[in-house]
Chains A and B, each alone.
Chain A
Amino acid sequence: MSGNVSLRALIVDDEAPARSRLRDLLADCAETHPVEVVGEAGNGAEALAILNDTPANLVLLDIRMPEMDGIELAQHLQKLPAPPAVIFTTAYDAYAIKAFELHAVDYLLKPIRGARLLEALSRLPPLKAPSADALNHLASGPRRHLSVQERGKLQLIPIGDVIYLKAELKYVTLRTREREYLVDESLTRLEEEFGTLFVRIHRNCLVARQHVAGFERETGESGEGGWLALLRGVPERLPVSRRQQHVLREFGR
């Protein structure tokens, strides 16, 4: 029994027939496990847009989707004020299935069986979001977006738009061409995940390789100046620490 928590679900799948199949099956379960479907989304960004306005406590989430896969979306969903529970759906992936079992993450195999969905629903309370650790293990590569929370809403920033990441006090500042955001993740963790796209030029700073325009000598009043990194699209010049000067060689200096 679903207890006294009423289930509000979002269906996320890039294939329309798969979404309608889930809707049908949820309707079949309605007698014992009423679920209100708050919406359907064809990709991760759409799903977030819906969730920002219409809270749901359960997301039925396809894994293989364009632009952003289901695992990444689940990683971002955790930053919502009240992260929803997630049931993944997948057609076939022996590796993923093993990982799900290992980390006790709920999943449904496509073609989805009504009985199996019912079973998953009846296990649902407590409505618990999957753990960050489990999701990190399930991810098959770095995320393609970073997510930031602003005024209670979650916003996605494609990783290609990030020019630099700079650690300041408690937060990491993320700079895109347009503006700055505050990211609630550690610089070390970000470097681990995106090490191939970013290069550390300072203890507190990662810059996107593709946005590095060049380097120049700092002409400071103190005479012998250090190097500054010039970046495409933003006026800031970021100091390269003495310890990280070897990165200049990487860029042909």
Chain B
Amino acid sequence: MASSINQNFPTHALPSFRNLGVVLRILLIVNGASLLLAVVRTPTWEAVPDDFMVQAVLVQPVLLLALVVLYGLSPALGRLPYPSGVASVFAVAAASGALVHLLAGGVGGIGASPDLVRFLVVSVAMTAVLLGYFDLRGRALSPALTEARLQALQARIRPHFLFNSINAVLSLIRSDPKRAEAALEDMAELFRVAMSDSRKLSPLAREVELCRQYLELEALRLGERLRVEWHTEKMPAEALVPPMILQPLVENAVYHGIEPGSAPGTVTINIYKYRDEVHLAIKNPFHEGGREQAGNKIALANIRERLSLHFDAEARLDTHVSGGAYQVRITLPYLTEAGA
């Protein structure tokens, strides 16, 4: 399937150090490594427990100290970007190692203790192994999470639109039952897609069809005020795009560009392929100082996130205002069912 090959789901994240499972895994892995080391270091099986105990004098304090510190820092670490989080965990491990080494040296109880540098190398290496393990494990589990997230992001048709449309359809039932029927059919289609499997990419032609149905519904409410210009002559109809990628942008254009004005306004939709990229551009009249700019930002952030979940860095969304018009442009890689 094109959809599963071409999509990336980058989900690097530190484990939660307050999670019992995580703490137990760390204890088990570190002690297991220590035990193996003891097996390697000693000539006979009988000597293994003694050697393990000798190591434990240094290993357990470092381990426990680091875990306590990480337990405390866990919420803060979770908010950091992944690379900074990793660096912080390394710093905690190294600092715990250094501190314990210093104290143990001061007490002078351990004759055969390694020098500080080698001790720190082992602490940091062990930390690296643990973080690597947690990262792999996290990614193995993540597709389910990612899917849930995509679903949640997608199912966001404005309630404002839903309720106003139902109100409009209700008004038609007596006067124009045929039109009311058609409107309900459009609405059903729209919501079927909005609630469908969001991981499958869908053909661009399908998305455009959906947008036309959506605009039919809006025309019902807004009448003459809504004018639409389609430029789809050079549209690659077979290109695969995330479902419901176009409709929210058109909905935004209507909500912010048409509804705030009482004079008719035009939404222009321009779709074409250039080199190996598909461009979707939507333009609408810009109204200064609208009372609800925040809503637009949320919708755009939502689409940006969906684009990055599907295409990582290969897709872009940018906006600009010029000459009294607001334009959103999405650029995404040209994919087809056959070419995947």
Chain B: CB-nearest residue to A139: B291
Q: How far is the CB of A140 from chain B (nearest CB, A)?
A: 5
Give the top 10 A-B pairs by smallest Cβ distance, nearest first.
A21-B171, A17-B171, A17-B168, A91-B163, A111-B167, A92-B159, A110-B167, A66-B262, A111-B166, A91-B164
Residues of B within 8 A of A92 (CB): 158-160, 162-163
In the bound complex, what is the Cα–Cα distance between A66 and B261 (angstroms)? 5
Main secondary structure of the interface of B (DSSP, over half): helix
A18 CB contact (under 8 Å) in B159, B167, B174, B260: B167
Assuming the A-B contacts A24-B174, A64-B259, A141-B291, are A16 and B223 also in contact, with contact meaning beta carbons closer than 8 angstroms in the complex?
yes
Q: B222 on the interface (CB 8 Å rule)?
A: yes
In the bound complex, what is the Cα–Cα distance between A169 and B163 (angstroms)? 50
Q: A40 on the interface (CB 8 Å rule)?
A: no
Chain A: CB-nearest residue to B166: A111
A43 CB contact (under 8 Å) in B164, B175, B262: B262
Residues of B within 8 A of A66 (CB): 259-262
Assuming the A-B contacts A66-B259, A141-B291, are A15 and B164 also in contact, with contact meaning beta carbons closer than 8 angstroms in the complex?
yes
Residues of A within 8 A of B159 (CB): 91-92
Inter-subunit contact B167/A112 (CB<8 Å):
yes
In the bound complex, what is the Cα–Cα distance between A43 and B174 (angstroms)? 25
Please indicate which of the listed interface residues A67, A69, A91, A92 has the most CB atoms of chain B within 10 Å of its own CB: A91
A20 CB contact (under 8 Å) in B175, B259, B291: B175
A111 CB contact (under 8 Å) in B160, B170, B175: B170
Inter-subunit contact B221/A18 (CB<8 Å):
yes
Q: B220 on the interface (CB 8 Å rule)?
A: yes
Chain A: CB-nearest residue to B180: A17
Number of interface residues of B (CB under 8 A): 23
Inter-subunit contact B167/A91 (CB<8 Å):
yes
A21 CB contact (under 8 Å) in B170, B223, B260: B170
Inter-subunit contact B262/A17 (CB<8 Å):
no
* Further pairs besides A91-B167, A110-B163, A141-B291: 14, Cβ < 8 Å: A15-B221, A17-B220, A20-B175, A21-B167, A21-B168, A21-B171, A24-B174, A66-B259, A91-B159, A92-B158, A93-B160, A110-B167, A111-B166, A140-B291
Q: B172 on the interface (CB 8 Å rule)?
A: yes
Residues of A within 8 A of B172 (CB): 17
Assuming the A-B contacts A15-B168, A111-B170, are A42 and B222 also in contact, with contact meaning beta carbons closer than 8 angstroms in the complex?
no
Residues of A within 8 A of B163 (CB): 91-92, 109-111
Residues of B within 8 A of A18 (CB): 164, 167-168, 171, 221
Number of interface residues of A (CB under 8 A): 23
In the bound complex, what is the Cα–Cα distance between A24 and B172 (angstroms)? 10
Inter-subunit contact A91/B160 (CB<8 Å):
yes
In the bound complex, what is the Cα–Cα distance between A69 and B291 (angstroms)? 10
Q: How far is the CB of B235 from chain A (nearest CB, A)?
A: 31
Chain B: CB-nearest residue to A91: B163
In the bound complex, what is the Cα–Cα distance between A37 and B155 (angstroms)? 39
Residues of A within 8 A of B223 (CB): 15-16
Q: How far is the CB of A141 from chain B (nearest CB, A)?
A: 6
Please indicate which of the listed interface residues A21, A140, A141 has the most CB atoms of chain B within 10 Å of its own CB: A21
A to B CB contacts below 8 Å, 25 in the list? A14-B259, A15-B168, A15-B221, A17-B167, A17-B168, A17-B172, A17-B221, A18-B167, A18-B171, A18-B221, A20-B171, A21-B168, A21-B170, A21-B171, A24-B171, A66-B260, A69-B291, A91-B160, A91-B163, A92-B163, A93-B160, A110-B164, A110-B166, A112-B167, A112-B170
Q: How far is the CB of A55 from chain B (nearest CB, A)?
A: 24
Q: How far is the CB of B41 from chain A (nearest CB, A)?
A: 66
Residues of A within 8 A of B261 (CB): 66-67
Chain B: CB-nearest residue to A14: B262
Q: How far is the CB of A11 from chain B (nearest CB, A)?
A: 12
Q: How far is the CB of B256 from chain A (nearest CB, A)?
A: 12
In the bound complex, what is the Cα–Cα distance between A48 and B118 (angstroms)? 84
Residues of B within 8 A of A67 (CB): 260-262
In the bound complex, what is the Cα–Cα distance between A91 and B157 (angstroms)? 14
In the bound complex, what is the Cα–Cα distance between A18 and B170 (angstroms)? 9
Residues of A within 8 A of B170 (CB): 21, 111-112
In the bound complex, what is the Cα–Cα distance between A64 and B223 (angstroms)? 16
In the bound complex, what is the Cα–Cα distance between A111 and B260 (angstroms)? 21
Chain B: CB-nearest residue to A45: B262
